[in-house]
Amino acid sequence: MARKRVYTVAQPTPLQQIDLPIAATVFLKREDLSPIHAYKWRGAYNRMAILSESERASGVVCASAGNHAQGVALAASLLHTHATIYMPTSSPRMKQAAVRRHGGANVEIVLHGDTYSEAAGAALAFARESGRVFVHAYDDYATMGGQGTLADEIVMSGQGPYDVAYLQIGGGGMAAAVACWLKAYYPEIKIVGVEGVDQASMQAAVKAGKPVVLDYVDVFCDGTAVSKAGELTYPLCAELIDEFITVTNEEVCAAIELLWQARRCIPEPSGAMGVAGLMKQADAVRGQRVLTVLCGANVDFDQLAWIAHHAGIGAARRRYFRFKMSEAPGGLLLLLDSVLDGVNIIDMQYGKTHSETAWPVIGFEADPSTLHLLVQRLNEAAIPHEDVTSETDVEFRIINYEPALFKMPYFITFEFPERAGALHDFLASFQVLASICYFNYTSTGETVGRALIGFEFENEDDRARFLASLNASAYVYHEIPGAVLKRML
């Protein structure tokens, strides 16, 4: 019956074979191509389609961080009922706009609390007070039945069987329903449940023998940010899921990048968790037929910069090191010449804080084997360094500096071609004329790099020669205005 109901709304979504950099045959269920760009419409519509006439006349209530809300809004519009939708105040603006677009006059959004759990608590209280039906995002058999239709489509595609499936878990509705359906048709399939490191409510439930409330839930993957597994979904997941793994936000970002490269699609973070889990176990699935679900693509545009920055870290091809070196003129160029030659520099954070010793932070991007060789060269050359990739001050680009130590400072922003060796060439051109007291640069993916640099000089003659050389060069630069410089120094 669920199949009959949901296909009055939309057609099956594609199941596509995709090329990933692993030795396995991978199939991706494209739920991002559904009416709300996520699978949640299936469960919402299936549950609401069985409302009685009186229940439909009274309207429904739900709580959601975004995708279930869109599914309920779409169903409310199609079934001519009203939905009061509670969403966390932190819900992405684009998901709020999508709810209004799908539901129109049939929906009312109530923003409440900072988390899904807080919004759900308020929604349940309102449902009890008003006597309206609460349409649960996952802990309802009719909701799960609707979600399971995506697995029905996988089976009906005729591309099976599959050796292993990676299913992301929030409350567990999709994972339970899909696992149940897949195991019915492919008894030998292995089901791997994928949760965020700080979202693993289902693993906590399995370990405790019952659903428990997590003390903290990370909300980067907002679609799976659930603090407690469902009472109905927990026993099903405990029985049907063979292995649970967790993925970091950075690994999810790397998976989003892979999906962009493979299919030119940009999933929301929770939508890419299955691929993130697969990539984490790439060696274990060599030669196997693997299935995963891109369960949603309602990504907030504001998240893209963070995702792009952290994808390299998640793929182990971006690392940041803090070096200890002499503050003498040319020290940075000497470091570049010694062991860093040929490695792509994508970030530089440095400010003068000591008259004799400098601690620049340099970010590198290369394949993992190249970065491993870089560390070997640094150790062999006895160059003092430490990995600060995940340190808070590096993440937030906190560059300390002591203006009292600067001698006749001169600050500019300048552009240079974003190619290997360009930064070295710039420093080599001016090292005999000036010393660097401040350097702030991060790659933006453009064809040119932009940096904010502070120079210092021993005397006016050195400063004049530097300016003459800079003006004669082909570099595009702009002097920092006096008012801005005053605030900096």
Q: For 191-221, give the DSSP string.
A: EEEEEETT--HHHHHHHHTS----S----SS
Report whether CATH 3.90.1150.10 matches the domain 40-142: no
- For residues 477 and 415, the answer to whether their CB atoms sit within 8 Å is yes
Helix ranges, 269-317 (H): 273-280, 304-314
Residue 202 CA to residue 204 CA, distance in Å, equals 5
Nearest-CA neighbor of 170 among 210, 207, 220? 220
**β partners of residue 449:** 416
Residues contacting residue 99 through CB under 8 Å, at least 6 positions apart: 66, 69, 70, 73, 85, 87, 107, 109
Nearest-CA neighbor of 225 among 32, 110, 109, 64? 64
Residue 132 CA to residue 109 CA, distance in Å, equals 16
Residue 218 CA to residue 211 CA, distance in Å, equals 18
Q: What angle do CA 299, 302, 305 make, to 5 degrees?
A: 100
Residue 166 CA to residue 147 CA, distance in Å, equals 16
CA 283 from centroid of its chain's CA atoms: 23
Q: Pairing relation of β-strands 410-417 and 476-479?
A: antiparallel
Residue 356 CA to residue 327 CA, distance in Å, equals 5
- For residues 102 and 108, the answer to whether their CB atoms sit within 8 Å is no
What are the residue ranges spanned by the domains of the chain?
A: 2-38+144-314, 40-142, 318-488
Rounded to two decimals, the pTM is 0.92
DSSP string, 358-388: E--EEEEE--HHHHHHHHHHHHHTT--EEE-
pLDDT at site 340: 79
Element (H, E) at 177: helix 173-185
pLDDT at site 167: 98
Task: Provide the total of helices (H) and of strands (E) in the chain, helices listed first.
Answer: 20, 20
What CATH number does domain 2-38+144-314 carry, 1.10.1370.30, 1.10.600.10, 1.20.140.10, 3.40.50.1100? 3.40.50.1100
CA 428 from centroid of its chain's CA atoms: 38
- For residues 237 and 176, the answer to whether their CB atoms sit within 8 Å is yes
- Provide CATH code, domain 318-488: 3.40.1020.10
For 157, 194, 395, the CA distances from 198, given in Å and listed in that order, are 35, 12, 19
pLDDT at site 184: 97
Residue 293 CA to residue 8 CA, distance in Å, equals 22
3-state secondary structure of 28: strand
Same fold? 2-38+144-314, 40-142: yes
Nearest-CA neighbor of 72 among 131, 126, 146? 146
DSSP 469: H
Helix ranges, 107-164 (H): 116-130, 141-147, 149-156
Judge residue 80's burial from the number of C-beta atoms within 10 Å of its C-beta, 0-12 exposed, 13-18 middle, 19 or more buried.
exposed
Judge residue 370's burial from the number of C-beta atoms within 10 Å of its C-beta, 0-12 exposed, 13-18 middle, 19 or more buried.
middle
User: Is the alpha carbon torsion for 156, 159, 162, 165 positive or negative?
Assistant: negative
- AA letter at 124: L
- For residues 324 and 59, the answer to whether their CB atoms sit within 8 Å is no
Residue 173 CA to residue 374 CA, distance in Å, equals 45
**β partners of residue 415:** 450, 476
Max Cα distance, the chain (Å) = 89
Residue 419: both structure tokens together: 């190619």
Q: HSE of 375 in the Cβ direction (CA atoms, 13 Å)?
A: 14
3-state secondary structure of 171: coil
Element (H, E) at 240: helix 233-240
**pLDDT digits (tens), the chain, 489 positions:** 778 899 888 999 999 999 999 999 999 999 999 999 999 999 999 999 999 999 999 999 999 988 999 999 999 999 999 999 999 998 888 889 999 999 999 999 999 998 888 999 999 999 999 999 999 999 999 999 999 999 999 999 999 999 999 999 999 999 999 999 999 999 999 999 999 999 999 999 999 999 999 999 999 999 999 999 999 999 999 999 999 999 999 999 999 999 999 999 999 999 999 999 999 999 999 999 999 999 999 998 889 999 999 999 999 999 999 999 998 888 888 887 777 777 889 999 999 999 999 999 999 999 999 999 999 999 999 999 999 999 999 999 999 999 999 999 999 998 888 887 777 787 788 777 889 999 999 998 888 889 999 999 999 999 999 999 999 988 889 999 999 999 999
pLDDT at site 214: 96
Phi, psi angles (nearest 5°) of residue 344: -70, 120
Residue 335: both structure tokens together: 């470091």
pLDDT at site 332: 81
